[in-house]
Amino acid sequence: MQTPHIPVLLNEVLESFSAVPEGYFADCTLGYAGHSSEMLKAYSHLKHIGIDRDDEALAFSKERLAPFSERSTLYKGTFATVLPTLVEAPVTALLADFGVSSLQLDKKERGFSFTSETLDMRMDASAPLSAYEVVNDYSQAQLEYIFDTYGEVRSYRKLAGAVIQARAKEPIRSAKALSEIAKTVIPPGGKIHPATLMFQAIRIEVNNELGEIEGLLDALEATHYAGEVVSLITFHSLEDRLVKNRFKKWSTACICDPQAMRCTCGKNHAIGKALSKKPLTASKEELKINPRSRSAKLRSFRFKSDSGA
Ligand SMILES: C[S@@+](CC[C@H](N)C(=O)[O-])C[C@H]1O[C@@H](n2cnc3c(N)ncnc32)[C@H](O)[C@@H]1O
């Protein structure tokens, strides 16, 4: 079966789960089941839950995972909403490989690429908010906020102004037209396409990507299992910061006010430990075959087992 997406950091992901106890493996971003199929092959003591908000990805993965159908259940929805409702327990391994898939990016009609004739960018094609509404209906202040906060675009004010000016003449109907507007503000010739950061910002807004990550981390903070390992792959600093900070909080033993003269909390508040201090990144070999892996960072965290280890 030809797959439209190469799983990133596959060996590192498999390795991170090498010592998990029997239970469920939850893949929160199933995509094309690249990671899931290898996990199912490698770890026969684990059953599988696959979550995705994209119908196309779910249909493809259902077929790909047919040989494992007795061990696998798939759910449509966003991981932050599905996770707290799962009845399967215990989840001992959990993976999220954030962001969009290569197929979503490459399929022109999904509206993620700079040359798309549509303006969509929804991972879930039935979701109410698309890039069209963001670009054509948001106020200048809202556009400035998302370009600045989610895109870290330096000339975010100018860019928002250019969008407002263009849409005053006629609605902006395609990603192609939008990327032409970006070129009028950000000159081509830099390391990345002039529209890259603006598209990132709009995609994050449309799919509530950072809110979803926070929701996933909140769900794990509220409910996790003894010995559960969580492996999270991020693709830009906004995502990585959320994960890094939460793992830091979870591994901090002392919760006293930093100004306090001495510790009174008992210093036993850590709920687990990160598997490595620094995030894992792609090897030279992987970078050669999959350029998309260049910005991937994997952080893994193990929740304490019953024995406290
Ligand atoms: C990078 S791809 C995952 C690829 C997968 N690991 C593989 O090897 O085939 C990300 C997938 O997660 C889905 N996704 C992203 N955010 C999501 C969310 N908040 N809830 C559910 N699915 C999400 C996307 O629709 C996409 O199919």
Contact 112 CB / ligand 1 (< 6 Å): no
pLDDT confidence of residue 191: 83
Tens of pLDDT, residue by residue over 36-84, are: 999 999 999 999 999 999 999 999 999 999 999 999 999 999 999 999 9
Nearest CA to ligand 1 atom 14: 29
Tens of pLDDT, residue by residue over 1-48, are: 666 678 999 999 999 999 999 999 999 999 999 999 999 999 999 999
How many residues are present in the chain? 309
pLDDT surpassing 70 at residue 308: no
CB count in 10 Å sphere of residue 122: 21
Q: Are 200 and 236 in contact (CB under 8 A)?
A: yes
Helices (H), ranges, the chain: 10-16, 34-42, 55-64, 79-82, 102-106, 131-137, 140-149, 156-169, 175-185, 196-206, 209-222, 237-250, 284-289
Selected from 1.20.58.340, 2.60.120.10, 3.40.30.10, 1.10.150.170, the CATH number assigned to the domain covering 128-206 reads: 1.10.150.170
**Of 5, 8, 14, 52, which is best to mutate to test ligand 1, by the most ligand atoms within 8 angstroms of its C-beta?**
52
pLDDT surpassing 90 at residue 101: no
Q: What residue segments make up the domains of the chain, in order of their start?
A: 10-103+209-303, 128-206
> Ligand 1: which atom is nearest the Cα of residue 213?
19
Ligand 1: distance of its center to the CA of 186 in Å? 30
pLDDT surpassing 80 at residue 252: yes
Rounded CA separation 232/296 (Å): 10
Domain 10-103+209-303: assigned CATH number = 3.40.50.150
pLDDT confidence of residue 108: 84
**Token representation of residue 301:** 């965290």
Lowest mean pLDDT of 28-32, 196-200, 228-232, 267-271, name the range: 267-271
Contact 52 CB / ligand 1 (< 6 Å): yes
Instruction: Give mean pLDDT, residues 294-307.
Output: 91
Angle between helices 196-206 and 209-222 (to 10 degrees): 50
Contact 204 CB / ligand 1 (< 6 Å): no
pLDDT confidence of residue 109: 85
**Of 28, 29, 35, which is best to mutate to test ligand 1, by the most ligand atoms within 8 angstroms of its C-beta?**
29
pLDDT band at 142; cut points 50, 70, 90: very high
Please classify residue 22 by burial: count the beta carbons closer than 10 Å to its beta carbon, then call 0-12 exposed, 13-18 middle and 19+ buried.
Answer: exposed
pLDDT band at 187; cut points 50, 70, 90: confident
pLDDT confidence of residue 309: 56
Instruction: Give mean pLDDT, residues 173-191.
Output: 92
Ligand 1: distance of its center to the CA of 264 in Å? 43
- For the chain, the average pLDDT equals 94
- Give the whole-number percent of the chain exceeding pLDDT 90: 83
Instruction: Give mean pLDDT, residues 177-181.
Output: 96
Supply the pTM of this predicted model. 0.94
Nearest CA to ligand 1 atom 3: 31
